[in-house]
Amino acid sequence: MGGCATGLVHLGSSFWLANFKEFAIFTLGASALVNLVMGLLVGLLLRWALTQKEWYRPFLFAAVWTVWEWFKSVGFLAYPWGTLVMTSRDLTYLVQIADLTGTWGIGFLLALVSAALGELLMRPAVPLSLREPFAKTAIFVCFLLVVSCGYGAIRIATLAKPVSNLDVVVVQQDSDSWDDSAARQNILESEQLSIAAIREKNIRPDLVVWSESVLPWPYAENKKHYEKIPKEYPLPQFLADINAPLLSGSPVLVDPETNGYGNSVILLDADGRQMGYHSKIQLVPFAEYMPFTQYAFVREFFDTLVGFSDGWVPGMSVEPMRITDKAGNEIAISTPICFEDAFSGLNAAMRNAGGQVIVNLTNDAWSKTDSAELQHFAIASFRTIELRTSMVRSTNAGYTVVLDQTGKVLADLPLFTPTSALVSVPVYASTRTFYARFGDWFPALLTALLLFLGIRYIVKQRID
């Protein structure tokens, strides 16, 4: 039952992974199989939790589920989709505890409510004397919910005000970035949409943000090439016209020894100079990065199965890039790429390195489904609460959005529509929340507790 549940939840929530072209065998097929296999262990652990006769049985259930979601959301094969916390985005007061526990505390509470209700509703024929301890547990669960929501209300009312605001142009060109023949047209459309947004507000922006992969050729090695394209509006002329920094996706050579390129975002100034870059650290396994390809038989396997064995080289640095707003303030921006915005620990490291605003460049256009775009947004939005910072998501097809430090949507663009906007983005002081300081302490604590109880259970069974 555990294996079926985890496998079916994955297929039902992430069916759009089948649109990931030749990688679908890994992105959907292999990931569903992995979820099913891991679910077998989850089922055994949940069964163990449910065999306990103590009042804390609902807490054990919630702890097992939270640890499971944590383990599947970290590491090389991490995939933090299909988690309980995704259902809670609109529970504004409850989710504010993310700055203490990360999303894991929210997921724990949701699982705990489910388990407590289950205890009250199952087997009405059980004598009241045996169900009474669980009724008290349910009351305590209600108390936890009230305290959590109360904390959220207080936090929202007492959060620090922005120290400044950035005028940012976000561009959503809604194009097929995997079509190499359309690269020049994609750049031209991005330029035209940028100019349209600037003219509409008649404000010089502090930053223009395109999406992932718009500049398909490595900029540093092809600067002369970009001086001629698109021929209708060469890139240097566009940069001079906007008179503002441009942030765009483009490959960057990160390992000269192996000629290895990283899936990156680069920051260009009005004169066309590359001011900085960030290379994607959390790569999509078996699509952007192939493990163990130093071995010939592994390369041959991938070449036969999907037609290639090379991938991007992972980045290493979490240092922010810096821009200057019109008031002369230096603003540090963290730039997680695509699904990097779903990883709490990585974004916390970027925040701890001094980042003040999260600017995410994403391309989910290949999914061709609204649900994929909105799921990605739902996961990413919790970074603003965990780190008490604002976020800009500039995407190829959606969901392009600006969020404040409570996860509130300040501005957005319609899905799968070529459009743009000049938006005002609040900038908050670079402070460190409890979660940013201590990371995933909550699921780590639950893991230690489960190990202790599991060992005690085994010892007791042997003694008996």
Annotated active-site positions, please?
A: 212, 280, 338
Residue with tokens 């995997």: 178
Task: Let me know if 50 is exposed, middle or buried by CB neighbors in 10 A (0-12, 13-18, 19+).
Answer: middle
User: What b-and-e string marks burial along 126-160, b requiring 16 or more CB atoms within 10 Å of the CB?
Assistant: eeeeeeeebeebbeebeeebeebbebbeebeeeee
- How many residues does this entry show for the chain? 464
For residue 290, the number of C-alpha atoms closer than 13 Å in the C-beta half-sphere is: 19
What span, in angstroms and rounded, lies between the C-alpha atoms of 439 and 376? Answer: 21
Backbone angles phi, psi at 72, to 5 degrees: -80, -5
Q: Say whether the peptide bond before residue 218 is cis (omega within 30 degrees of 0).
A: no
For residue 397, give both structure tokens: 């097809």
Residues 6+ apart with CB under 8 A from 239: 246, 268, 269, 270, 271, 272
What span, in angstroms and rounded, lies between the C-alpha atoms of 88 and 378? Answer: 9
